[in-house]
Chains A and B, each alone.
Chain A
Amino acid sequence: MSLSLYAGTLSSGILTGLVYGLAAMGLSVIFGVVRLVNFAHGEMMVLGMFAAVVLAAAWGIDPLLSALPVAALLFVAGYGLQRGLLNRFIDRPDHQQFILLLGIAMILVNGLMMVFGPDARSTNVPYGFDAFFVGGITLDKTRVYAAGGALIVAAALYAFFRFSRTGIAIRACADNQLGAAVVGLDVKGLYAITFGIGSAVVGIAGCLLSLVIDVRPQLAADYTLLSFIIVIVGGLGSMGGALLGGVLIGVSEALAGVLIDPSRKQMVSYGLLILVLLVRPQGLLGKRG
């Protein structure tokens, strides 16, 4: 096997991994602040994918552009869900939250199945088969654009939590729920905003990924698990960790696909998860606590 093939595999793994990382960031934000494990995460991602597919098919809108309305739509949906339903479950035991989100996930994914059927669809962008050539390495244009979009959104998300007043207030809730309430923050309102942001982010990730893959409703559970793996590997609550974890999983999947056997690539991800859980449960970039 030639060196350029490895380089190509590696770089396409990194590019896809960045989009995975963005999806996992949404999960990480929600868990880090609201302390809810969003078992409907992959389902929301697939919702974003189908929105991109519909917009592309109906009006020929590029998924890179449809990411904006999809983000708005998912923000509203996520905000409403947290406000109307999930806020009541904040203090309930883990397994009850899990069942609630599982029910929501089932409704979402099978609702998509009812509307779109089980067949694979794609966004069919005009540059779908174009590529960049960088020093002997072939990079799919779609992958490069998707990864670029993921990096921009990740940077925006980081800036929001670092500099905006709302972002700082949300971090205060995450650090100390009681303290935040004492200084007069509307904790439940901020939770709703956080869930909205997490949903919007994963929706964007779905749009971006729809450039690269064929979209089917059945993918949802896989992406939920994938996001979990990335978040645990990278470290819960660490945004950089989510991106790093995403790249790591993207690369290991790509390499396993070439070196071992494509159908076994999932085993590598699960193996990595088991290893990290046992050796470094706080994740690669996570803080112990």
Chain B
Amino acid sequence: MLTQDLFEGVTPRGKMLFTAGLGALLLLPEVADSYLISILTLIFWFAYVGQAWNVMMGFAGQLSLGHALYVGLGGYGAAALYMHLGLGPWVGMLVVVPVCALVGMAIGWLGFRFGVRGVHFALLTIACAEFTRVAFDHITALGGSGGLFLPVVGGRGDDLLMLRGSPQLYYYVMLVLALLALALCRIVTRTRLGYFWLALRENPDAAAALGIPLLRVKLLAVGLSAGMTAVGGVFYAFYYNNLFPDQVFAMGRSIEILLGPIVGGIGTVFGPVLGAMILTPLGEGASLLLEALGITLPGTKQVIYGLMLVLIICFRPAGIWPWLAVKAGLVVPPGETDLREKGEAE
């Protein structure tokens, strides 16, 4: 029943491809080298946080340009609990996820309460993230601008509970997290709340007229999105073992997070995943290509990235997934669902 719901609207070909792809990803660490594993872990990470960002913008229509705030708070919070109290990341999450959800809801509440909307709200999110970045530069107990380093304990094998171990461990953990986020978003978009978000995104005034409690619904979107992002931050801290305010809280990180969903297809559940699968290899591929060509000018890779963004937004403004999914026959095109079901019943 549950899996049926999860795959509603997906064609048999789509289901097959998804299963085959997932199977390949599960077996891959047996054959792949560590470089490929690290790239895929990065792809899963961006798919995951992109999914989280998509909850707020794609589902509920609230543009955030400051999601690095939750990555940073989640990462720093869990790292501090680990280093000072010896609490593992999963226990740490029980603390930092609610905290980040509350921080997000507080920012949202302040903004929505005072009628800060659209571009202004986006600027408010940037300002909060940047404010926190500069503040963390000066918190000496957490390393300040010099960075916070998690101790690396080697030679004890994989420890899932403490999230210490080999690249394969991080690969599987991040894969599972990305899958969970995918399933969660798939489920939540079919709940009453999901439909409220849809109404809010498409027409806030009409939604309010229908009696949807806009403020509460918006805050739930921000809270869920921020909490999910915080989990991404915790993983980041334990995977890289270092945290610098200028990296985790930077506006560049907020932008990296939202590029995937926008390129893949904003408001779609699989879009963030596809976006991460396109962008991360694109960046890495560009680096490899430039290296092979012997071009060492700083900035070349970013210029290519920028060009790709401009091209994608000009020619596929709704993202690649909605177009690709119908073209390749992976999902039932919107509007044909009822027909198919009738046909099967006959």
- Residues of A participating in the B interface, judged by any CB pair closer than 8 Å: 37, 85, 88, 92, 94-96, 98-100, 102-107, 109-114, 117-118, 217, 221, 225, 228-229, 232, 261, 263-264, 266-267, 270-271, 273-274, 277-279, 281
Contacts and interface: CB of A to CB of B under 8 A. Distances in A.
A98 to B, nearest CB: 8
B299 interface: yes
A270 B131 contact: yes
Interface string B251-265: 110010001001000
A279 B126 CA distance: 17
Interface in B121-145: 122-124, 126-128, 130-131, 134-135, 137-138, 145
A118 B317 contact: no
B116 A270 contact: no
A118 B298 CA distance: 8
Given A100-B310, A100-B313, A107-B303, A94 B119 contact: yes
B302 interface: yes
Given A270-B130, A277-B114, 9 more contacts: A94-B63, A99-B262, A107-B310, A110-B298, A113-B299, A232-B123, A264-B134, A274-B131, A277-B127
B118 A94 contact: yes
Contacts of A270: 127-128, 130-131, 134
Chain B contact residues: over half helix, strand or loop, or mixed? helix
A288 to B, nearest CB: 10
B85 interface: no
A103 B124 CA distance: 22
Contacts of B118: 94
B127 A273 contact: yes
A103 B297 contact: no
Interface in B50-65: 57, 63, 65
A104 B309 CA distance: 9
Interface residues of B, number: 46
Given A221-B251, A278-B110, A103 B303 contact: no
A273 B306 contact: no
24 contacts: A96-B317, A98-B65, A100-B309, A100-B310, A100-B314, A102-B309, A103-B309, A103-B310, A106-B305, A106-B309, A107-B303, A111-B299, A113-B298, A217-B299, A225-B251, A261-B138, A263-B137, A263-B145, A270-B128, A270-B130, A274-B124, A277-B111, A277-B127, A278-B114
Contacts of A225: 126, 130, 251
Nearest to A271: B131
Contacts, number: 121
B303 A114 contact: yes
Contact of A277 (B116, B130, B303, B306): B116
Interface centre among B63, B116, B131, B297 (most CB of A within 10 A): B131
Contacts of A221: 251-252
Contacts of A113: 297-299, 302
B184 to A, nearest CB: 23
Contact of B124 (A99, A266, A277): A277
B110 A106 contact: no
B157 interface: no
Given A103-B313, A110-B302, A273-B123, A267 B262 contact: no
B120 interface: yes
A110 B300 contact: yes
B2 interface: no
B219 interface: no
Contacts of A264: 134, 138
Given A277-B116, A278-B110, A266 B298 contact: no
A232 B117 CA distance: 13
Contacts of A112: 299
Q: Which 3 A-B pairs have the closest CB atoms?
A: A106-B306, A113-B299, A110-B299
Nearest to A113: B299
Nearest to B118: A94
B71 to A, nearest CB: 18
B301 to A, nearest CB: 8
B211 interface: no
A232 to B, nearest CB: 6
B148 interface: no
A110 B303 contact: yes
Interface centre among A100, A109, A111, A277 (most CB of B within 10 A): A277
Contacts of A281: 114-116, 120
B234 interface: no
A110 B168 CA distance: 35
Contact of A107 (B120, B252, B306): B306
